Amino acid sequence: MSQSARPTRVKIVELGPRDGLQNEKQLVSVAAKVALIEALAEAGCDAIEAGSFVSARWVPQMADTEEVLRRLHRHAGVSYLALAPTAAQVAKAVDAGLDAVAVFPAATETFSRKNLNASIDEALRRSADVARVALGAGLRVRGYVSCAIHCPFEGWVDPKIAARLAAALRDMGCYEVSLCDTTGAGTADRARAMVEEAAMILPMESIAVHFHDTYGQALANTAACLDLGVATIDSAVAGLGGCPFAPGAAGNLATEDLLYMLDGLGIETGIDINKLAAAGRAIMRELGRASTSRVATVLAGRQTGAPGPTEPAAAATL
């Protein structure tokens, strides 16, 4: 396919503080979460998923979202959003001064019941209630379609099903719909098929993609979607992530790796990769382990004097 559809600039929605941290067993302090969000904003991230109002019983890592948002120093030009599973949670988002909330129905019945304790139809009704209340309160609403390619319980998902859910979210008033490969099982052709089907119903500028890297395919899937004209990509600093309701799912596409690829393609993002990587190193120190981002690993090596991509080593190896 011709590369003429590729965007010249991409908006990255940084998921690290929410989708990245939610599956961590070690509880991260409020101070560390605030520091991460502020460092991401300083790096140039202008859309940050800052938390979630889901039940603390099911996702204890997000129990302190309201406190995190209270302590946060807001950066001009940055949009902060959080997940709001029910209309009752919208008031918390308003009180916290958020710009947007997100709803997240799933493309299969089994995942919907395990993740939301609701059927697909029930989840869509809840999402519509959230959207109605949020829009009435002056908030924007972002939609996610979980398991848009593959479900850990039901297997491969027909792209038409994901597209129908995307259309339902658009009809609720969502300004953008993110198509999520929740298990990270997708490959480039399946990713393309997902986007092509959705683009028959939604304008390309309202479609985002969200890839987990379980099988190491997230960058390839992203590149395939860029060639279709997708210009909004979800990712998480240091490759943080995973889903508590998708057994075996690995972290999100690492923002550092995404930035490196986009720079190589001549696509602008407005994000400083070195500042972004520093934010990743800080949160990984808090978690006590190394980043899963390959680019972050290289940049960390350069901090200690190891040769980088423009600094050849003294001896070559094959």
Which entry of 45, 147, 174, 243 is annotated as an active-site residue? 243
Average pLDDT on 131-138 reads: 98
Closest CA to 239 of 14, 10, 11: 14
**Distance between CA 2 and CA 5 in Å, rounded?**
7
Look at domain 3-303 and name its CATH class.
alpha beta
Residue whose structure tokens are 């990245």: 20
Closest CA to 45 of 221, 280, 204, 214: 280
Position 248 scores a pLDDT of 57
Position 172 scores a pLDDT of 98
Q: Express as a percent the part of the chain with pLDDT over 90.
A: 86
**Distance between CA 193 and CA 164 in Å, rounded?**
14
Average pLDDT on 284-289 reads: 95
The answer to whether residue 307 scores a pLDDT higher than 80 is no
Domain ranges of the chain: 3-303
Task: Using DSSP, state whether 144 is helix, strand or coil.
Answer: strand
**Distance between CA 186 and CA 249 in Å, rounded?**
12
The confidence band for 1, taking pLDDT boundaries of 50, 70 and 90, is very low
Position 313 scores a pLDDT of 46
Q: Is-catalytic flag, 174?
A: no
Give tens-digit pLDDT for 78-90. Answer: 999 999 999 999 9
Position 2 scores a pLDDT of 45
